[in-house]
Amino acid sequence: MKKNHLILLAILSVISLSAFAFINIKSTSDTQSNIDFFYGVDSRYATTLTKDKVINARWFDELFPERATKGIETWHSTEVVVLEGENKIKSKGIGNRFSPDQFELLQSIDYSTNFYITANCEKRRDPLTLEKDSIVYWMTIIPENEARYKDGHNALIDYLKKNSQDDISIVKQGSIQPGRIDFLISTEGKIENISLDSSTGYPTIDDAMINLVNKIPGQWIPASNSNGEAVPQKLVFFFGNMGC
């Protein structure tokens, strides 16, 4: 009888330990899967324009997305602001057509330039309503044919994800900041000029991501202009909090 009790206790102990281990593993897995960690590689801003389009434009409604200018009846003040590091080059004008200074500034910008344009206007919401509105769009100039990772974008993101899981395991939900790493794809398809533009707030993660970008395997197909000539293109690796 005593022997049967001992066997029963042993079985119950094994079951309890197994259940605890399962709960513990599940808890760890859930904690890791709940970390909202974003990965993306793209131009700095989601709205992009080719250099050819900007050079050939003469009117603001040629630069803004069509949905942004729908219903505009009167264009008032406008501004072009080109971002160069910490500096901003500004040019103001009146109306839909570029001022001479705005035209000259837009003609001077090169691939991977970031800038924003603003316009104060009046929009027709309905036959009886005319409202004042302000439009602002942040944009990046891209080559006519952008640089491409030869194995495909999904393979690039998979590489970054799979090789950073240990590093991001220290992240506490809600504490991560938007991280950004700039890098250049040269005319030879090589990765150059890697630099941290924005920190996640976790220096070890920032360093790990820089190391990953530096060691991206495979080949890049360089960007090219409308004549088929290779041109350099700056890309941004976004990670951590999605940010903007």
Extents of the domains making up the chain: 47-142, 145-240
Q: State the pLDDT at residue 18.
A: 47
Cα–Cα distance measured from residue 111 to residue 233, given in angstroms and rounded to the nearest whole number: 7
Per-residue pLDDT of the chain (244 residues; tens, 9 = 90+): 444 544 444 444 544 444 444 334 333 333 344 568 999 999 999 999 999 999 999 999 999 999 999 999 999 999 999 999 889 999 999 999 999 999 999 999 999 999 999 999 999 988 888 999 999 999 999 999 999 999 999 999 999 999 999 999 998 877 889 999 999 999 999 999 999 999 999 999 999 999 999 999 999 999 999 999 999 999 999 999 886 6
Radius of gyration, CA atoms only, the chain: 26
Where does residue 33 rank: exposed (0-12), middle (13-18), buried (19+ CB within 10 A)? exposed
Structure token digits, residue 181: 């790493």
Q: 223-224 and 230-231: which strand pairing?
A: antiparallel
Q: 38-42 and 178-185: which strand pairing?
A: unpaired
- Contact at 8 Å (CB) between 38 and 238? yes
The model's pTM is 0.81
CB atoms within 10 A of CB 204: 11
Q: State the pLDDT at residue 192.
A: 98
